[in-house]
Every structure is written in structure tokens, then in C-alpha cells.
């Protein structure tokens, strides 16, 4: 306990410290950072737009089928961002620099040096290879009533070669353009959640022949690997979903699956993420991008 002799000195020192604290300058940049939300722009294709998940975004071009429950909207709400969404169903990497539909600006037009955060899912529509493979394998599976491996037998390594030779360099070019258009932004690209399980399919809910299930799974792994390598080559954060979405493919029951099947699904746009899948993608992006 302070003596009566030291109490006045302690009081004087305390008053001086309080005065200095009041006079200490407050950093304007720190206060601004606390006040101003992140400027966040979402780019990408139908997996970014959550095509088929209702309700639709009334501010989006109708052809884009963009949902207000897509992972960019969920993420923007989580981090309370100043948010712009230009994702659009059926987009490929060319639509970053060119108009996808009449009156729809190139997606890169939404970026500038003041943007803080950019996310996207892109590449699956390039050259029509991934979506084309799903359609081709579905048709082939129906032709054999789900038996054999008709898609693999017909197409072999054709789709994989296209991803490695065409899709990968297109992704590098697109991500480089994003970094150039938004030089101060943290940029993240999400992989595609699993559409098919490892081996056992669910014909006819997903009309893929039994022997083509691992064939399509491998093709998607190659696509996600191309996305990951392009991200690494351009200094972009890769938000990988291979592990997280395993066991949540289109063959799983309602409540488990992140992606809806061709038959007996809940989305009018088939083979696309449902609302739960989009929430899980948002959570993964937030965590892997280090956002609070």
C-alpha cells in the first residue's frame, strides 16, 4: 500500500499519463480500415453464380441465372463487404475480357486498384470440355443402361489432354489479367466440388455407367489440379474443395450432397451446387483466404 508521502507523486504521474494518451495521434489509416468494409468483387461461372438456386438475384442479367444464395453473397454477408457480383452461368475464361451476352460487360470491368478481394470459380466451361464430358458420359451411360465404361472406351484421354493443353494456359492468362486489373486485391479461386463419388455411382439418378464413374472422377481431379497449378503460377490463393466435398457428391442423399443430380434433384439446373453446397464453399473460401 503506497505511503502518504508517495500518493501525491503517483497521482501526478497518473494525470500526466492520461494527458499524454489524449494527445497521442490516432492513425487515420487505422481508423479508416476499421470504418470501411472490404471492397469485394465476385467473378466466375455457374458454380460461382449458383445457377438454379432460388431466389434469383434481381440485379443480375436474366441469362446469368445468378442466385442471392451463391457463395459470394454468403461470404460477403459473413465479412460485411462492399460487394459487387458479376458471376454468370456458362461463363468461361474468355468472358473475363469479352462480353458474354449483349449488354453484359466483361467481368474484368468490375475490377480496379481499389478492390480488396476477388473470388471466382472458372475453367469448367472452357473448350466445353468438362461440361461436354459430363453430357457425353451421361448419353453413353444411357445407351448401355449403366453398364460398362462406354464413355472411357470412346473418348479415352481426349478430355484430359484438352484440360492440360488448353484449359490450363487459359486459366493462367485469366488469373494474370485479374491480378493486373486488381493489383492490390487478395485473389482466390475455388476448385469444383466433387460431382461423382470415388467408385460406386447412382444410375439412373446420375446416368453415368458404372465403369465411367472413376473415369469422370479422374477427369475432375485433373481439372481441379489445373486450377491449383494456375493459381500457384500467378500468385493466387487456391481454395481446394477435394477433401472437403468428398462424400458430398451428387449421388448422396438430400442433406448430404452439395451438388444436385440429373434426376430427383432439388434444383432446376442439374449437376450444380445446391444452397448448402454454396454455403460450404463460402465457409471454405473464408477460412482459406484468412478472412474475418
What would the DSSP string read from start to end of 222-244?
HHHHHHHHHHHHHTPEEE--HHH
Q: Which of 85, 76, 87, 100 is nearest to 41 (CA)?
A: 85
The pLDDT, as a whole number, for residue 94 is: 98
As annotated, the active-site residues are 46, 272
**Three-class SS state of 273:** strand
- Low-confidence stretches of the chain (pLDDT beneath 50): 1-30, 32-33
Among residues 144, 150, 145, 138, which one has the least CA distance to residue 211? Answer: 150
Question: Closest Cα partner for 110 from 122, 96, 124?
Answer: 96
- Asked if residues 226 and 285 have their Cβ atoms less than 8 Å apart, the reply is no
pLDDT at position 34: 64
**pLDDT for the residue numbered 69:** 98
**Distance (Å, whole) CA 16 – CA 203:** 79
Quote the CA–CA distance of 20 and 194 in Å, as a whole number.
59
Q: 13-33: per-residue pLDDT in tens?
A: 344 344 434 344 444 444 544
> For position 292, what pLDDT does the model report?
84
Q: Is the pTM of this model over 0.85?
A: yes
φ/ψ (deg, to 5) at 160: -60, -45
Amino acid at each position: 500500500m503506497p505511503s502518504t508521502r508517495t500518493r501525491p507523486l503517483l497521482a501526478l504521474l497518473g494525470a500526466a499519463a492520461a494527458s499524454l494518451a489524449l494527445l497521442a495521434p490516432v492513425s487515420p489509416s487505422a481508423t479508416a480500415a476499421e470504418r470501411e468494409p472490404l471492397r469485394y468483387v465476385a467473378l466466375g461461372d455457374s458454380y460461382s453464380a449458383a445457377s438454379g438456386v432460388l431466389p434469383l438475384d434481381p440485379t443480375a442479367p436474366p441469362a446469368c441465372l445468378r442466385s442471392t444464395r451463391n457463395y459470394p453473397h454468403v461470404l460477403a454477408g459473413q465479412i460485411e463487404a462492399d460487394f459487387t457480383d458479376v458471376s454468370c452461368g456458362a461463363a468461361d475464361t474468355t468472358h473475363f475480357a469479352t462480353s458474354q451476352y449483349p449488354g453484359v460487360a466483361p467481368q474484368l470491368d468490375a475490377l480496379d486498384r481499389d478492390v480488396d478481394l476477388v473470388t471466382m470459380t472458372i475453367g469448367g466451361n472452357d473448350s466445353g470440355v468438362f461440361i461436354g464430358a459430363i453430357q457425353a458420359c451421361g448419353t453413353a451411360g444411357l445407351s448401355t443402361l449403366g453398364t460398362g465404361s462406354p464413355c472411357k472406351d470412346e473418348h479415352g484421354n481426349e478430355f484430359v489432354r484438352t484440360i492440360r493443353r488448353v484449359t490450363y494456359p487459359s486459366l493462367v492468362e485469366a488469373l494474370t489479367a485479374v491480378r493486373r486489373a486488381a493489383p492490390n486485391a487478395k485473389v482466390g479461386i475455388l476448385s469444383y466440388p466433387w460431382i461423382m463419388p470415388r467408385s460406386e455411382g447412382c444410375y439412373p439418378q446420375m446416368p453415368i455407367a458404372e465403369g465411367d464413374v472413376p473415369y469422370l472422377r479422374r477427369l475432375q481431379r485433373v481439372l481441379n489440379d489445373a486450377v491449383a497449378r494456375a493459381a500457384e503460377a500467378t500468385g493466387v490463393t487456391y481454395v481446394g474443395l477435394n477433401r472437403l466435398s468428398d462424400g458430398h457428391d451428387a449421388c448422396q442423399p438430400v442433406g448430404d450432397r452439395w451438388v444436385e443430380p440429373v434426376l430427383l434433384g432439388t434444383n432446376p439446373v442439374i449437376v450444380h451446387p445446391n444452397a448448402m453446397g454454396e454455403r460450404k464453399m463460402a465457409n471454405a473460401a473464408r477460412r482459406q483466404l484468412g478472412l474475418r
